[in-house]
Amino acid sequence: MAELTDPGDHPGPVRRGAFFIPWIGTNGSMVAERSLELGADFLSVSVKDSMGRSWSRSDVVPTWKLRDDPFADLCEALHEAGMSVRASVAVFADAYAADRWPDAVAVGNDTVSAQRPGWAEDWYYHLCPVQDRQRDRTLAFIDELARRYPLDGVDLDFIRFPWKPARDQTPARDFCYCPTCQKRFTASTGAEVAQLHDPAVCGSWESWRTGAITSMVESVRDITASHDITLSCFLAFWGSDGLGSAELPKARARFGQDHAALGSICDEVAPMLYHRFTDEPTCHISRSIRWVRDITWHLRELDVRVCAAIQGGPPASPGEITDAVHGAVDAGAAAVMSYPGLSWSIDNEYWAALARAYAELTSLAEKN
């Protein structure tokens, strides 16, 4: 395991980016102009979103009602502005697929599926990460993207098992217990999910789940490597209730993400460090800026490159946005991106705070 001798020990200049969600009528030139005003050098564009539809032309997944090709327009405009373009792909969040193939939706330990009314995020349904159909569709879509568009990288979003924290009288919910998962777990380990009260079986279950996610990322890496583009994946830390390295194994068990393994496969990992995200029960986090720095630091201890995805708006304050950027960089992040980034107006105080922070990083790099 790598030793960090200094909190600021990170490789090379810190890259600055934003997460961009397209809309009907997206203008690539306008987006490029605003991105440059922000001080960003890359954009992670939500090409396939959690509704299961694409903002690119596709023969694999359904698209939004497009007159033009907004992703092609974005690639051209951003590249002309000297910026990198990364395609963010929602892997296992897919409302379209859930509606078409209901048996593909992940099933909780309470037998309730990850969809309405038992799922709080009404804008998406979470699919089982083990079943082949969604894995194969996603791989075909990413290969299609890499062949059709001049991307610089792929960012995997929702590359995890769903999880719900305990709330009120409702215990925590973990996933997935669909027939496919139960059969394949037994075939792989010889154990059954009914034996999860046994610590040894529980450990096998956790390893089997992380293996399912890791193998999917490896398959994507085969595609990105063949096209000579970068690969990153978003890491979830919802429900974190403390500081320190103990938060990493908690997140690993909840979401099936082996941080070290994913970091060894990907060019970098992008922990979603929204320190004041929401009071909604899935994603509730209310931590100080120290938490942003802390998670970044402990991921760096695993010898992985980190692109810290920080909060870009309420309920955090504008000052916290600036502090979060510096906290992640001080802990060794190689890159920082803001979510929701360009979903906010260029004129608002959150955007201004992020632009100031990015300008300070540029000034520091020039001095060094």
| pLDDT at residue 252, rounded to an integer | 97
How far apart CA 118 and CA 141 sit, in angstroms, is: 29
Question: In terms of pLDDT, which residue wins out, 314 or 321?
Answer: 321
Rg (CA), the chain: 20
Mean pLDDT of 177-189: 98
pLDDT level of residue 2 (50, 70, 90 thresholds): very low
How far apart CA 181 and CA 323 sit, in angstroms, is: 42
Residue in the structure block whose two tokens are 């998406």: 124
How far apart CA 329 and CA 361 sit, in angstroms, is: 9
pLDDT at 343 over 70: no
pLDDT at 282 over 70: no
Q: What is the pLDDT of residues 45-92, one digit of tens each?
A: 999 999 999 999 999 999 998 878 999 999 999 999 999 999 999 999
Residue 310 lies in a domain: yes
- Domain of residue 61: give its range: 15-105+125-170+207-367
Number of domains in the chain: 1
Residue 189 lies in a domain: no
- 359, 323, 280: which is closest to 308 by C-alpha? 323
pLDDT at 181 over 80: yes
pLDDT at 112 over 80: yes
Q: What is the pLDDT of residues 158-174, one digit of tens each?
A: 999 999 887 777 788 89
| pLDDT at residue 134, rounded to an integer | 97
pLDDT at 120 over 80: no
How far apart CA 117 and CA 280 sit, in angstroms, is: 14
| pLDDT at residue 342, rounded to an integer | 59
Q: How large a percentage of the chain has pLDDT more than 90? A: 68
Average pLDDT of the chain to the nearest whole number: 89
How far apart CA 187 and CA 253 sit, in angstroms, is: 21
pLDDT level of residue 1 (50, 70, 90 thresholds): very low
- 347, 233, 245, 254: which is closest to 294 by C-alpha? 245
Residue 62 lies in a domain: yes
Number of helices (H), then strands (E), belonging to the chain: the values are: 11, 10
Residue 246 neighbours by CB under 8 Å, 6+ apart: none
Residue 202 lies in a domain: no
- 257, 272, 255, 282: which is closest to 164 by C-alpha? 282
- 264, 261, 262, 272: which is closest to 236 by C-alpha? 272
| pLDDT at residue 4, rounded to an integer | 42
| pLDDT at residue 25, rounded to an integer | 83
- Report the CATH number at residue 166: 3.20.20.80
pLDDT level of residue 7 (50, 70, 90 thresholds): very low
Secondary structure class of 364 (helix, strand, coil): helix
- Spatial contact of 330 and 10, defined as CB atoms under 8 Å apart: no
Residue 6 lies in a domain: no
The reply to whether omega before 176 is within 30° of 0 (cis) is yes
The amino acid occupying position 18 is A
Residue 331 lies in a domain: yes
Residue 3 lies in a domain: no
pLDDT at 312 over 90: no
pLDDT at 309 over 90: yes
Q: What are phi and psi of 337, to 5 degrees?
A: -135, 150
| pLDDT at residue 20, rounded to an integer | 92
pLDDT level of residue 18 (50, 70, 90 thresholds): very high
Q: What is the pLDDT of residues 33-56, one digit of tens each?
A: 999 999 999 999 999 999 999 999
| pLDDT at residue 238, rounded to an integer | 82
How far apart CA 239 and CA 34 sit, in angstroms, is: 33
Alpha-helical segments (H) within the chain: 28-38, 70-80, 95-100, 132-148, 179-189, 199-226, 247-255, 259-265, 289-300, 318-330, 349-367
Residue 51 lies in a domain: yes
| pLDDT at residue 5, rounded to an integer | 42
Q: What is the pLDDT of residues 184-226, one digit of tens each?
A: 999 999 999 999 999 999 999 999 999 999 999 999 999 999 9
